[in-house]
Amino acid sequence: MKWSQVVFLGEEISRNLKSNSSATSDMLYLGLKGPSLSSYKRMVEDLKRKAMKELNLPEEEIVVRSLRPTDLGLATPAWSFNIATTVWNTMVNTTVADNRFIGINGIVYLETSAQSISELKITRMGKVSSYWNIEGLILCENPYMFVDNPVIADQNTNITIEGYGIGTNTAEKMGFMGAVAEKRGLLINP
């Protein structure tokens, strides 16, 4: 399958979802530039602003760092998921920790031998907020994608990420990219 076919399929699904659902189907980009870079910068500013307001702290008391697997409730600091075929697999189901604000703006495949997930569905506070069609991502020279509409989850908010399985894999090496704004000293104190 050529990458242009994958993009076309994603655009078609995007149009159908936007007309039939309250969820958004974001446009996916192969690099952090243009709309995806602007969205990332906006996401980081939104995370900082929310953290400052809700924690009642000045900007110098807020740290912005990269998203880690444990921020999304994974037991280890490695991106790995158990995927079954032809069902929605719950990959993440967690409540964001107190004093922490999470933004997800992309995904990356850490190994490119096989891809077991065709779509991602992200639910925040009990409502589906995004669908991402990622089928064919491992065919790309650099197997990562960024979105133009990042998902933001505030402190103490439940977030669920499900992947639709198109193959079985007990260790799907796919990760989420994003940022975390938190009170200085929770994890790092630069």
Q: What does each of the 190 residues of the chain score in pLDDT, given as a tens digit?
A: 334 334 433 443 333 334 334 444 478 899 999 999 999 999 999 999 999 999 999 999 999 999 999 999 999 999 999 999 899 999 999 999 999 999 999 999 998 788 999 999 999 999 999 999 999 898 888 999 999 999 999 999 999 999 999 988 888 999 999 999 999 998 888 7
Helix (H, G, I), strand (E, B) or coil at 54: helix
CA distance 68 to 100: 12
Q: Tokens 């980009």 belong to which residue?
A: 29
Distance of alpha carbon 33 from alpha carbon 145, whole angstroms: 11
For domain 3-183, give the fold. Answer: Jelly Rolls (2.60.120)
| d(C-alpha 150, C-alpha 40), whole Å | 7
Say which amino acid occupies 40. Y
End-to-end CA distance of the chain: 46
Q: How far apart are CA 180 and CA 182, in angstroms?
A: 6
- Helix (H), strand (E) at residue 42: helix 35-55
